[in-house]
Amino acid sequence: MNSLLDDNNYKKLEKEYPFLSRAREALGEKPSPLENDAYVIFDLETTGLEPTTCEIIEIGAVKIENKEIKEIFNTLVFPLSPIPPHIEKITGISNEMVTGYPGIKNALNDFMQFIGNHILVAHNADFDVSFVKQHLKMEFDRELTNPSICTLQLARFLLPKLVNHKLHTIAHYFKIETPVRHRALGDCEITYQVWLKLLNLLKKKNILSQADLIQNGLIC
């Protein structure tokens, strides 16, 4: 039974059936505090907004345990089509820069090995997760099963009065420096700092565990 309780599939079931969270407590298992859990914060740079027609050109990720960065993953990705000029202007990633880097199949395979069964954290997670799901399906005919937490959604929940909930706006609110933006690993670092601040605000609302996030509709 314990092995089932530790499985991410059980956590997904908890989202649909909140009584399962209480089952943990009935079995003497206290939910792990959010700040002690392990996560992978990740960010993608892409050639556009549509996952079915656009490509991933950079993947950045940091593995977090007990609120500390334990491992880093970062790679450029060689796309099938040239990087559009406006994307190069936004990201600073040129066609010359990605030459010699792995294609999406190898890059995505390495990324999946890095994340394992960890919960994913991203800003505007729907966007990044949709690209991972699409390309996983295309390249490997498999599904992404990792639960995800969106710092954009959390910020809207916790800081409803902000003028907007863009990453740099939230970072500015928390007085977090944003020296490198629109590069995957740089945005991961900012998201990590924002995540730590949001954890403190979640505590004030007595949202202390993954089960609490599930019950508040804050984990996918």
pLDDT attached to residue 8 = 57
Q: DSSP characters for 145-212?
A: ---EEEHHHHHHHH-TTSS---HHHHHHHTT----S-SSHHHHHHHHHHHHHHHHHHHHHTT--BHHH
User: pLDDT tens digits for 41-98?
Assistant: 999 999 999 999 999 999 999 999 988 999 999 999 999 999 999 999 999 999 999 9
Strand partners, 63: 40, 71
- Which of the following CATH numbers is that of domain 31-215: 3.30.420.10, 1.20.1090.10, 3.30.420.40, 3.30.479.30? 3.30.420.10
d(CA 184, CA 107): 14
The pLDDT-based confidence of 4 (bands split at 50, 70, 90) is: very low
d(CA 55, CA 132): 10
The pLDDT-based confidence of 169 (bands split at 50, 70, 90) is: very high
Range 8-30 average pLDDT: 54
Q: Which residue has the tokens 């909140």?
A: 18
- Is the pLDDT confidence value at 28 over 80? no
The residues that are catalytic are 182
Cβ-contact 186, 167 below 8 angstroms: no
Cβ-contact 162, 173 below 8 angstroms: yes
| Domain spans, the chain | 1-30, 31-215
- Is the pLDDT confidence value at 182 over 60? yes
d(CA 79, CA 98): 8
- Closest to 154 measured CA to CA, from 168, 170, 178: 170
